A = this chain, B = another copy of it.
């Protein structure tokens, strides 16, 4: 059995309160006593039980993060940014992936009981679940998801990025675009579409091509629909994976890109560089880091009014949009 604070107290000939003081460096302790305690602790290889400490302090010293997946680079980067700041702040990080989970809400609820606050990414659980948690007094920060009630949020400037992307395409002569994605899968996807619409002049046309999933396969699958009839001037895809799938199939069909049709993605994943894909980069790590800081303020009670951070995006132009359309 491991040594407890009582063992150390006995060994050092002091009370447990003194041991606690020395170890936490709280309260004044005479140097000589202090040394005795440290010696005893060292002798017994004493490591304070986090379980006991947490219960006494009534805090977990841990934060959770809920995400749909970790496969793409997107969420992985956000999680990393979050973890590094949380660690600096002395908090452990609990993770929860909702992928393939039918009881996501229950899992999040359970997780909330094991940490002092949590970050929720994207469309992992319904708004109602967020509100229930918030109502129970949980500290929550939403990322890549529009604000709900008085809950903090951190988002990338999707609309702004989409407008920049659209203007870039318009400059190249694009007049008809197809947005590939499903606005209902994630708030980001919906916001991007809105941004495009905002930037579009009356003489340009935007259609939505709905796909079930934001993966390569879905991107490839829709190409068939366009080979038999007219191609638009540009395919604007909700994310890079979709764009990469679409791009591969188009090229395989001998379609000239960007001569005949231009293609864009979103996220700037590593493969986008190899494919020469024009895309929009988001500060993924910074999204996570910002969330960690907001959450810390919330838990620490430093702040009571909700905050909603918006982080910048950046257009990355590559070869899938370099050509001029009908010059």
Contacts and interface: CB of A to CB of B under 8 A. Distances in A.
A92 B60 CA distance: 13
A94 interface: yes
A71 B73 contact: yes
Contacts of A71: 73, 76-77, 80
Interface string A103-130: 0000100010110000000000000000
B54 A51 contact: yes
Interface stretch (A202-210, A255-263, A269-277, A296-304): A269-277
Range, interface on chain A: 35 or more
Contact of A69 (B80, B94, B107, B274): B80
For A69, A271, A275, which residue has the most chain B Cβ atoms within 10 angstroms? A271
A156 to B, nearest CB: 19
B70 A80 contact: yes
A99 B79 CA distance: 13
A275 to B, nearest CB: 5
A319 interface: no
What 10 pairs between A and B have smallest CB-CB spacing?
A271-B271, A70-B76, A76-B76, A51-B55, A55-B55, A274-B274, A70-B80, A50-B113, A270-B271, A271-B274
A96 B91 CA distance: 11
A327 interface: no
Contacts of A45: 136
Given A50-B60, A270-B271, A274-B275, 9 more contacts: A45-B136, A71-B80, A73-B73, A83-B97, A93-B94, A93-B95, A95-B95, A248-B274, A274-B274
Interface string A242-253: 001000100000
Contacts of A136: 45
A273 B69 CA distance: 21
Contacts of A107: 87
